[in-house]
Amino acid sequence: MNNEMSGNLLADDYATKDLYFAAFLHIKGLQISKLEKYGDSNINRINPNQRITNPVYFIFNNKLRCEQLEELFWGGVGDELMVNIKDFTTAVRDLRSRAFSVNRTVSQLENTFEEQR
């Protein structure tokens, strides 16, 4: 979990920016409680002109289960890692679409606010 999000999370929430790990958690039955935009910061970019590829945190409930699956996912060992590849690719496409729709919606709201000034 990224520490910069800890102030906005409930005690049982778990946040990740990693699209593939979020898809894995989703396939394993964990529900996304919300998506939260993390902004246009240059902190995680190699160069300031680099495009952010995933503009949101995926926030899940059940922090303990997410942390257990995180160890398996990054460790790369265990029967529980096995997932249906079609389900995985579908989840990746769905989450990517949801992530970018959040980004577009927030940008549209910001532009509308600026126009009203």
- Reported as a single tens digit per residue, the pLDDT across 56-113 is 889 999 999 999 999 999 998 888 889 999 999 999 999 998 888 875 655 554 555 4
User: If you average pLDDT over residues 1-5, what whole number do you get?
Assistant: 46
Nearest to 100 by CA among 49, 51, 30, 42: 51
Residue pLDDT, tens place only, 26-44: 999 999 998 888 754 444 4
The pTM (predicted TM-score) of the whole model is 0.70
Q: Helices 63-75 and 19-27 sit at what angle, rounded to 10 degrees?
A: 120
Q: SS3 of 36, please?
A: strand
Overall number of domains in the chain:
1
Residue pLDDT, tens place only, 41-72: 444 445 555 555 557 889 999 999 999 999 99
Residue with tokens 């926030």: 59
Residue range(s) defining the domain that contains residue 62: 3-116
